[in-house]
Each structure stands twice: as C-alpha cells, then as structure tokens.
Amino acid sequence: MHDVSIDVPGGRVNVWYRPATGTAPTAVLIHGLSGNSRWWSRVLEHLPPEIGLVVPDVRGRAGSVGAPPPFDLATIADDIARALDQLRVAKAVVAGYSMGAWIAAMFARRHPAMLERLVLVDGGLPIPADPDTDADEAIEAVVGPSLARLDRTFADEQEFLDYWRAHPAFQNHWDDEMAPALTHELAESEDGLRVRANPEAIRVSARQITVDPETNAAAAGLGVRAHLIVAERGTADQPGGMIPIRLAEEAARADEGLTIEYLPAVNHYTLVLGPGAPMVAAAVAGR
C-alpha cells in the first residue's frame, strides 16, 4: 500500500493504493464521517493480497484536508470515479462504511458502469426522521462527537490514543492494533498534535445524511447487487445499531438485489476496527 495524489477540480485528494495482481478485482473502500483511509486497516489484513485497493481520504479529511469545497457526497462520489480513471481501473467492488455507505450508493447511481458490486457497511439506507426532533439538533447529535476532538490539541500520540480508549465504543474493546487507523489523522501544529479534518466538510456530510432526501434515498431501489452489513450495537456501544435491523429487513424485502448480514456482539466502530473486520473483508472479497 502506498499513498498517491489524485487530481480533482480545484485541488487534490489522497488515496491509499495497491494495484491488483493479474486479473484480480479492485475494491474501493470509503471511510466514515470523520474517519480516514486507515480505518480500513484491519479489514485489509483479511483481504487476499492480489486484490487491488483504492482507499481514499475523502475531501476535508486526513491526507485530503486541503481539498477545497464543495464537500457534498455527490462530489466525493465523482472524486472516486476520477481516482479510478487516473489509476486505470475500469470497474471495482465499491464498499462504504457509515457515511461512506451513502457515498458508495451515490457512486452506484452516478457511475453504474464502473460498479462491479456494492457493499454497504452499517449505513446507506434512508433513516426515517423523528418528526418531533429539530433538524439542527439531529445534525448536532450526529456531528458533535466527531467534532469534539477537532477543537483539541494533544501532547503526543499516547494522549490522543487515551482519548479514544475512553470512548464508550472502545472502553471494553480496545486493542493496540487499532492505533494506526486512528493516528493517521494527526499532524504537528505549533502547540501540539491536531486532527487533520475540516469541520465544515464534516457538517456538510452530516446534514446530507440526516435531512437531505436525495442522499437518504441513494440506496433505495438501486437495481444493482448490494450486500448490507448491520452491526448489533451503535456508536456508543449502545443496543441498536446505526441501521435498525427492522429497517434493513424491510429494505431487503422491497429490493430483491439487496442481501443483509447481521453481526452480533460488535458496535459501529468495532465492526471495522475490531472483531467485525474479518466478516467485512469476506463481504468485500465476495466470499
């Protein structure tokens, strides 16, 4: 794996890349709301070594923090298509985790000829809004925890990792192999280490996922083969995942091309950073 720079309108985005061997397929792996390409590190450990990999830091995050607006998910989907073009990949398996699942669904709608197969990892389905909840409050509930670390400086990587160890999703599930996925977002500043992320990019994504009808509907009735993985527990290790199993089952009944897989005993984060990673890798590899 190595980082390559991809030209996009107005700037560049960073892609963690490995070319396919021979006739092996290529997989695109798209990270979540405030994550980065390395959140897929544990999944990569379980993928066949001949599979090609295109793993972007999407606009406004980590290695692509300097990429300019717009930050909407359709633009990010188009960035991925440009990356495939520039890397001379005609068609790929596209997998998206959390926010990345909505981007993957958007990619499937906008660039169907480039899609081999779609994998949605704990995201991508329209989530019904609570009519009693204010839209801005709903967005803040989604984005607030992600933005909290952007306002902080950390003396060193150890302090940063201690911050994550205290997160409810990791308190009872931490292992040191999670560290490289998390520290990729750090950069030196005058007063210590800071997270490389653009708060506006994260807010735009959260607003689209939460209240934008087009984004919410991206994975509905795609007419392509898709596999949805649902975690049992949520972002704070609470019962009930990002995608309620009832909602996933309803979507599968309405779309014969959609299959679902329910993973118990993992939360939204350990799904890719912990014990869920081998199952996610199996779905990406088509096993």
Cα angle value 196/6/219 (rounded, 5°) = 80
Note the pLDDT of residue 131.
59
- Could you tell me if 94 and 115 are in contact, meaning their C-beta atoms sit under 8 angstroms apart? yes
Give the distance from CA 258 to its chain's centroid. 19
Order across the sheet with 258-263: list the strands: 2-8, 11-18, 52-56, 26-30, 92-97, 115-121, 226-231, 258-263
Q: Cα–Cα distance between 211 and 216 in angstroms, integer?
A: 8
Note the pLDDT of residue 126.
78
Say what the pTM is.
0.94
Q: Which domain holds residue 135?
A: 2-285
Identify the residue whose tokens are 């991508």: 124
How would you class 94 by CB atoms within 10 Å of its CB: exposed for 0-12, middle for 13-18, buried for 19 or more? buried
226's enclosing H/E stretch is: strand 226-231
Which of the residues in the chain have pLDDT under 70?
128-136, 138-139, 141-146, 219-221
Q: Cα–Cα distance between 179 and 188 in angstroms, integer?
A: 17
Output the domain CATH number for residue 144: 3.40.50.1820
- How many domains, the chain? 1
Q: Cα–Cα distance between 279 and 94 in angstroms, integer?
A: 16
Identify which of 260, 247, 257 has the alpha carbon closest to the alpha carbon of residue 221. 257
Identify which of 207, 195, 175 has the alpha carbon closest to the alpha carbon of residue 275. 175
Q: Cα–Cα distance between 189 and 192 in angstroms, integer?
A: 5
Note the pLDDT of residue 146.
65
Q: Cα–Cα distance between 16 and 162 in angstroms, integer?
A: 26
Note the pLDDT of residue 210.
80
- Could you tell me if 32 and 99 are in contact, meaning their C-beta atoms sit under 8 angstroms apart? yes
Note the pLDDT of residue 264.
93
Identify the residue whose tokens are 């989604």: 142
How large is the C-alpha radius of gyration of the chain? 18
